[in-house]
């Protein structure tokens, strides 16, 4: 799974890296979102999606809330979506067909179970070339029907996970889907509903494109948030 990650690149950097045509107002407001070395579920995070043929950088809530959900709390259980079950899930089938996005990150954390130790060891994983990661994601729009049609719309997202590559398999049995740049256009194309072909993109990134190292257990607590969290403990 992917339950924590790092997002410190500015909207300007992300817009350039992901060839964005439009940066939504929410992403340009001071402090929104704040750079974070410990992004947690429910956080407001940047995503890249396509709208009317234009690539857009927007800010959404992490934890997908399906349009039919009764409350925002549903999103707490939907921070990740398994690639293998997207088409059989009521929550993810339609977003997979029509509402795909990229969730940019500067790296992510995963926790390794070590035999004989109660506390798991956190690891930080990033691209070897230092470029932002492109997580494959899905997005949705929800509003509280109890408040009527004028209720505020909440945009949310989830990160898709798959089997681990050789690097990740020693750390955890899942990893987020990381899209190579050559597949960004295909994934974001809102007119592309070929789920069979899209499903073939949901594979582990080559292990040699990533690097990983153990980090401090301070990352276990969401209140801790600073560059010291990604320093190597080797």
pLDDT tens readout for residues 166-221: 999 999 999 999 999 999 999 999 999 999 999 999 999 999 999 999 999 999 99
Cβ distance 49 to 134 under 8 Å? no
Measured CA to CA, the distance from residue 3 to residue 161 in angstroms comes to 11
Residues noted as catalytic = 2, 110
Mark residue 131 as left, alpha or beta (left: phi above 0; alpha: psi -120 to 50; beta: remaining).
Answer: beta
Q: Count how many domains the chain has.
A: 1
Domain of 123: which CATH number? Answer: 3.90.1680.10
Measured CA to CA, the distance from residue 5 to residue 117 in angstroms comes to 24
Query: What's the pLDDT score for residue 27?
Result: 64
Token pair, residue 217, equals 């257990």
Range of the domain at 217: 5-230
Cβ distance 92 to 158 under 8 Å? yes
pLDDT for 151 beyond 90: no
Residue 186: which residues within 8 A CB-CB, separation 6 or more? 192, 197, 198, 201
Token pair, residue 203, equals 């594979």
pLDDT tens readout for residues 35-81: 999 999 999 999 999 999 999 999 999 999 999 999 999 999 999 99
pTM above 0.85, yes or no: yes
Question: Mean pLDDT, the chain, as a whole number?
Answer: 94
Distances in Å between the alpha carbon of 1 and those of 18, 19, 203?
A: 24, 28, 14
Report, as an integer, the average pLDDT of 14-25: 93
**Residue bearing tokens 């398994």:** 82
Query: What's the pLDDT score for residue 207?
Result: 98
Residue 118: which residues within 8 A CB-CB, separation 6 or more? none
Measured CA to CA, the distance from residue 43 to residue 62 in angstroms comes to 6
């Amino acid at each position: 799974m992917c339950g924590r990650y790092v997002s410190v690149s500015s909207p300007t950097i992300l817009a350039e890296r992901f060839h964005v045509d439009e940066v939504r107002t929410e992403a340009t407001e001071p402090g929104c979102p704040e750079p974070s070395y410990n992004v947690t579920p429910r956080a407001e995070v940047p995503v890249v999606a396509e709208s009317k043929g234009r690539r857009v950088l927007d800010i959404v809530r992490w934890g997908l809330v399906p349009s039919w959900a009764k409350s925002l709390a549903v999103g707490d259980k939907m921070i990740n979506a398994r690639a293998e079950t997207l088409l059989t899930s009521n929550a993810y089938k339609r977003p997979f067909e029509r509402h795909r996005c990229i969730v940019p990150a500067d790296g992510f954390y995963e926790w390794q179970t070590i035999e004989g130790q109660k506390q798991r060891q956190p690891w930080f994983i990033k691209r070897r070339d230092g470029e932002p990661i492109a997580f494959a994601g899905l997005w949705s729009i929800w509003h509280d029907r109890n408040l009527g049609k004028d209720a505020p719309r909440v945009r949310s997202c989830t990160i898709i996970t798959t089997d681990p590559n050789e690097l990740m398999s020693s750390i955890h049995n899942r990893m987020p889907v990381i899209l190579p740049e050559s597949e960004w256009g295909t994934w974001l194309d809102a007119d592309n509903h070929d789920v069979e072909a899209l499903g073939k993109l949901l594979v582990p990134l080559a292990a040699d494109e990533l690097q990983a190292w153990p980090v401090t257990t301070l990352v276990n607590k969401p209140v801790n948030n600073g560059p010291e969290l990604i320093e190597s403990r080797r």
